[in-house]
Amino acid sequence: MSAPLADRSEFADWIGRSSERRDALTPRLAAEFEATLAPHLARVDGAALGAHWLLAPDVAPMRDLGGDGHPRTGLFLPKLPYPRRMWAGGELVFRAPLRVGDEVVKTSVVEDIAFKSGASGPLGFVTMRHTYTVGATRAIEERQDLVYRPPPAPGAAAARPQPAKTETAEIMRAWDIATDPVMLARYSMATFNGHRIHYDAPYATGVEGYAGLVVHGPMLATLMLNVAADALGATPRRFRYRGLAAVICGTPFRAEARRGVGEAIETRIVTGDGVVAMAGVVEPG
């Protein structure tokens, strides 16, 4: 029996809540980021694209962590009745480059909370708005989409995503990428991400029902953003993306940039068996 659909009105007091944190894109943080993802980073003005996700994470003492390794809900994010939390997608608008050494103010606002029924049961969605400001300059604006799901039924088989349809659009760039547990651990440490699906295989498979360790959503988005920026030869103005399926650690995949409509570039993560795990669109500046 699936969990009931929650009532949005019960969480209305969360909408509009905001916080402000300060952090610095230190040389060490930038070097860790590049060492983890190189050579799959574009050469652009300023720090490597995606490095903003290193900054001002949610920091909680061990006593305030949930069973999944994240800070428990109700502290930084609303306590929805569905425990499985995933990064579902979002949008970035680049207005000025971040540079190594910048002191950054990150402002976060809970913009919306919604509930829907999906094929696997009820889903909760939280929309966050983040801005990254350096001095008087708003450098990056971000929409972050989080999805909450009930736990899998005991013994339930994981959904098998279908391979993508054959594409005819011109491939501008394609990077073949392999991950391993060390790469995932280094990214988790750089971003202070304690989610156990990225490093605790028994938890990822036995509790959350994945086929293995899960590659981070923001890591996949970073690779998509960078392959598109490499094709453009510059930082884009806007990047929209959506997660479609989990990528399991050790599964080969490709980050692609394809020619889109007009000047836009379509970018995606495609696994070795043809499943599109994440898709997005990049608009040039």
Query: Mean pLDDT lowest for which of 90-104, 157-171, 235-249, 256-270?
Result: 157-171
Q: How confident is the model at residue 146 (pLDDT cuts 50, 70, 90)?
A: very high
Percent of the chain with pLDDT over 70: 93
Q: Which CATH architecture has domain 8-283?
A: Roll (3.10)
| Distance in Å from the first CA to the final CA of the chain | 49
Best CA proximity match to 85, nearest among 146, 159, 7: 146
| Res 157: pLDDT | 52
* pLDDT band, residue 1 (cuts 50/70/90): very low
The ranges assigned to domains in the chain are 8-283
Confidence of residue 82 (pLDDT cuts 50, 70, 90): confident
Is residue 67 scored above 50 in pLDDT? yes
**CA–CA dist 218, 221 (Å, integer):** 5
Residue 262 sits at the vertex; the CA angle it makes with 256 and 263, to the nearest 5 degrees, is 60
Residue 147 CA to residue 116 CA, distance in Å, equals 10
Q: Identify the pLDDT of residue 229.
A: 97
Residue 155: is its pLDDT beyond 60? no
pTM: 0.92
Contact at 8 Å (CB) between 257 and 267?
yes
Residues 237-272 have pLDDT tens digits of 999 999 999 999 999 999 999 999 999 999 999 999
Query: What mean pLDDT, rounded, does the chain reach?
Result: 92
